[in-house]
Amino acid sequence: MTPEQKLNSLGLSLPEMPKPVANYVSYKRCGDMLYLSGQGPRRNDGTMHVGKVGKDVTTKQAYEHARLVALGLLAAMKQAAGDLAKVEVIKVLGMVNATPEFGDHPAVINGCSDLFVEVLGDRGRHARSAVGMGSLPMHISVEIEAICRIHP
């Protein structure tokens, strides 16, 4: 089953690629390496999920937000590589807009990691950091960036 077929079987589809909100590009390819800019949890209408995890947003809600970010990152991967079957995720950095008391950052970023593995199989497994931030741009709840390898 192709990654796109796996997405369809999960009832998911790749979103439109958002335009960068500042002076950067959505991704940068260097040889077989692909560097994806951080993305936030975008709803279908283009608005973002906002709030502090541990106060305004539950761990479960933030997990779903990270899953939405994974869809956006997969869309960037497909645009860059032309075919998701060529992509291997190497490293993920997940940032959680959290209260100082919140400590379950890995459970939030699992939303992204879990979807990468569901869609890409073993090529979706990756090294990862999941960290808390005092704030994120536009008060989004989660921001995630990734480094990937594109196979021929």
Does the reported pTM lie above 0.95? yes
| Topology (CATH) of 43-150 | 60s Ribosomal Protein L30; Chain: A; (3.30.1330)
Cα separation, 91 vs 145, whole angstroms: 9
Sheet holding 33-39, edge to edge: 27-30, 33-39, 142-150, 87-97, 127-133
Cα separation, 36 vs 116, whole angstroms: 14
Do residues 47 and 55 lie in contact, with contact meaning Cβ atoms separated by under 8 Å? Answer: no
Relative to beta strand 87-97, strand 127-133 is: parallel
Q: Name the CA dihedral angle for 75, 78, 83, 87, rounded to a multiple of 10 degrees.
A: -100
Over the chain (152 residues), the average pLDDT of each successive run of 10 is 96 90 94 98 94 98 98 97 97 98 98 98 98 97 98 96
Domain range summary for the chain, segments of one domain joined by + = 43-150
Note the pLDDT of residue 34: 98
Note the pLDDT of residue 17: 87
Cα separation, 74 vs 70, whole angstroms: 6
By three-state DSSP, how is residue 19 classified?
coil
Which residues on neighbouring strands pair with residue 57, listed in sequence order? 53
